[in-house]
Amino acid sequence: MKTRLVELLLSGQYISGQEISNKLGVSRTAVWKHINSLKDDGYTIESQYGKGYRLLQMNKYVTPEKVKLGLKCKIFAREIIYFRELSSTNDEVKKLAEKGYPEGTVVIAEKQTMGKGRLGRNWLSVSTGLWFSILLRPPIPPRDAPQLSLLAAAALHETLYNELNIAAKIKWPNDLLVNNKKICGILTEMKGEMDRVNYVVMGVGINANQDMADFSGELADTATSLKIIKGKEVDRVLLLQKYIETLEGFYLYYLEKGFERTRDVCVKNSHTLGNTITIYSGDQEYTGKAISLGADGSLILNIENKDVSFYGGEISTKKE
């Protein structure tokens, strides 16, 4: 309802409550309540007796009605749930998955108080970034679920290049970097059984409009934002729309034809391949040259003239 109401107000001209009522098929009282709800969400809407309502300014948030405006998706983002502040979008999507929410459900938070990265690390999630998670229910075996992290990375690489002319590099298995600084982190979590996936939660954190001052301590040397790179703020709503559309395209292709498209993007834009890598897996560490990305998404290292495949782990890179 909010999306349709915003669409009617987008002209910036007055529209009467009765006309809104007729077009939306709701009562005048319902119109008034929805207008006030938009105002509560930060929209500036002028009302004048005898003329109706006029939208003066959109809010600054990544709210569902804005994301849905003009969004071209088949299954993603039909259901969008929004929070000004949340502990973790991944944890929220897990709860929704257990309740039977459909594939493609998106949870967005302006700020996360307990945002998560790999290995349980905290992820700095201030309100100028993009923090969201998507519920997937792919008909794939559990062993293939890690491929979805690379799929998310490949889709974001394409989005950043096509929309912002930013050529990010993909660091296996789940980060995007620009000028050797992190711009995005991806965390996929799965619930499944021996032979089937029940659901996958794909969490994505994008450093969108942070300033240098937002990255303190060691983050100043390891992280950056789209605003810092471009020298101006990016439209977070538009970026999210384009990413969700691109991500859905990669996902549907993957379900129909397999991993090769994702693999091709990851190989061509790899930050990892060709370099000497130390990979930390459990309490073990292995060092070798990253020579290839396997057809299944594994990272192949040449260690003492022997090729070894890894399916997860934390890596550090020594640039060649």
pLDDT tens digit string along 14-66? 999 899 999 999 999 999 999 999 998 889 999 998 899 999 998 899 999 99
Query: What is the pLDDT, as a whole number, of residue 102?
Result: 98
Instruction: Specify the DSSP element, H or E, that contains 187.
Output: strand 181-192
Q: Where does residue 303 rank: exposed (0-12), middle (13-18), buried (19+ CB within 10 A)?
A: middle
C-alpha torsion sign, points 96, 84, 242, 297: negative
pLDDT, tens digit (0-9, with 9 covering 90-100), for 185-244: 999 999 999 899 999 999 999 999 999 988 888 888 899 999 999 999 999 999 999 999
Instruction: Provide the pLDDT confidence category of residue 282 given band limits of 50, 70 and 90.
Output: confident
pLDDT, tens digit (0-9, with 9 covering 90-100), for 54-92: 999 988 999 999 999 999 999 999 999 999 999 999 999
Instruction: Provide the pLDDT confidence category of residue 123 given band limits of 50, 70 and 90.
Output: low
- In three-state secondary structure terms, 290 is strand
How far apart CA 157 and CA 154 sit, in angstroms, is 5
Q: What is the mean pLDDT of the chain?
A: 93
Query: What is the pLDDT, as a whole number, of residue 81?
Result: 97
Q: Which of 156, 182, 308 is nearest to 245 (CA)?
A: 156
Q: Is the pLDDT of residue 281 over 90?
A: no
Return the residue matching tokens 């923090």.
131
pTM for the predicted model, two decimal places: 0.89
Alpha helix segments (H runs only) across 1-109: 2-9, 17-24, 28-40, 64-68, 89-98
How far apart CA 47 and CA 148 sit, in angstroms, is 47
Query: What is the pLDDT, as a whole number, of residue 119?
Result: 46
Name every residue whose Cβ is closer than 8 Å to that of residue 78 and which is 6 or more positions away in sequence. 102, 104, 105
Q: Is the pLDDT of residue 121 over 60?
A: no
Q: Is the pLDDT of residue 311 over 60?
A: yes
pLDDT, tens digit (0-9, with 9 covering 90-100), for 102-117: 999 999 999 998 765 5
Comparing 137-146, 271-280, 310-319, the range with the smallest average pLDDT is 310-319
How far apart CA 303 and CA 320 sit, in angstroms, is 16
Report the percentage of the chain scoring pLDDT > 70: 95
How far apart CA 272 and CA 319 sit, in angstroms, is 9
**DSSP H helix total and E strand total for the chain:** 10, 14
Q: Is the pLDDT of residue 126 over 80?
A: no
Average pLDDT over residues 290-313: 95
For the chain, which domains are there?
A: 2-57 (1.10.10.10), 64-268 (3.30.930.10), 276-318 (2.30.30.100)
Query: What is the pLDDT, as a whole number, of residue 275?
Result: 95
